[in-house]
């Protein structure tokens, strides 16, 4: 299972480009990969148990870690709602990119 999960994250890392902010996308996906609760919330980890947090709550936590908690950040906690939506949209787009890639690979290449 771990090998499959790592493969999916590798594909996501390769498929996603966040407006020329590849380091930011990499950091976002690394944060999710390192937190079981977030992986469960986004559906990347079916074997673990959720603590009941919604995707939106997880996105807010990720946004805080990714943007607000950095020492040189221009973002504050008042920006969390906007940043939460940015994170949600980015993850959704990454997943959509992976699904399209897998569809293409399985139906065209194979």
d(CA 88, CA 26): 15
| pLDDT of 11 above 60 | no
Number of domains in the chain: 1
State which residues form the domain around 62.
Answer: 2-109
| pLDDT of 5 above 60 | no
Structure confidence at residue 6 as a pLDDT band (50, 70, 90): low
pLDDT for 1 equals: 46
- The DSSP code sequence of the chain is -HHHHHHHHHHHHHH---TT-HHHHHHHHHHHHT-HHHHHHHTS-SSSPP-S--HHHHHHHHHIIIIISSTT-S--GGGHHHHHHHHHHHHHHHHHHHHHHHHHIIIII-
The string of pLDDT tens digits covering residues 28-86 is: 888 988 988 888 888 777 777 767 888 899 999 999 999 999 899 888 999 999 899 88
State both tokens at 66. 């990714």
Number of Cβ atoms within 10 Å of the Cβ of 76: 10
| pLDDT of 19 above 60 | no
């Amino acid at each position: 299972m771990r090998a499959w999960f790592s493969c999916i994250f590798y594909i996501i890392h390769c498929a996603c480009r966040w407006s020329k902010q590849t380091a930011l996308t990499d950091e976002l996906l690394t944060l999710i990969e390192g937190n079981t609760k977030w992986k469960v919330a986004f559906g990347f980890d079916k074997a673990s148990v959720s603590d009941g947090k919604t995707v939106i709550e997880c996105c807010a936590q990720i946004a805080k870690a990714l943007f607000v908690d950095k020492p040189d950040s221009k973002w504050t906690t008042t920006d969390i709602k906007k940043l939460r939506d940015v994170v949600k949209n980015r993850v959704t787009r990454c997943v959509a990119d992976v699904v399209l890639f897998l569809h293409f690979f399985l139906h065209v290449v194979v």
